[in-house]
Structure 1
Amino acid sequence: HDRRYAIDARKIEREVGWKPQETFETGIRKTVQWYLSHQDWVEGVTSGNYRQWVGKHYG
């Protein structure tokens, strides 16, 4: 499959010593779980209410 988009953190680890705290698999699992656990937030940002709030405060 297309591997051009694979994340390779070796360079940043080598140059600055940073290592990711999550693997892709654990990170995506936690992300999906967060969205499933925060349905009210998801509804707010997908219903148009968030766009209206941004327009009111920043528009």
Structure 2
Amino acid sequence: MCDIKITVPANYFLRLFVDFCKIQLYLHALVLFVYLSLLKSSPILICKLNAVIISENIL
């Protein structure tokens, strides 16, 4: 009986810990995704800015 009382909370805390780790992983993945999407879009933004600067210089 004592073993069951000890193991159930241990499993519960383990599950909580695993859930917390999953949340952390999801957060890291989200941050990475946002960072990569910004990296992908930034060259386009830079090209647009360069195009605007060049067109202003020509005009």
Same fold (TM over 0.5): no
Q: Which has the higher helix share?
A: 2
Q: Which has the higher contact order (CA 8 A, sep 6+)?
A: 1
TM-score (norm 2): 0.29
The structure that has the greater radius of gyration is 2
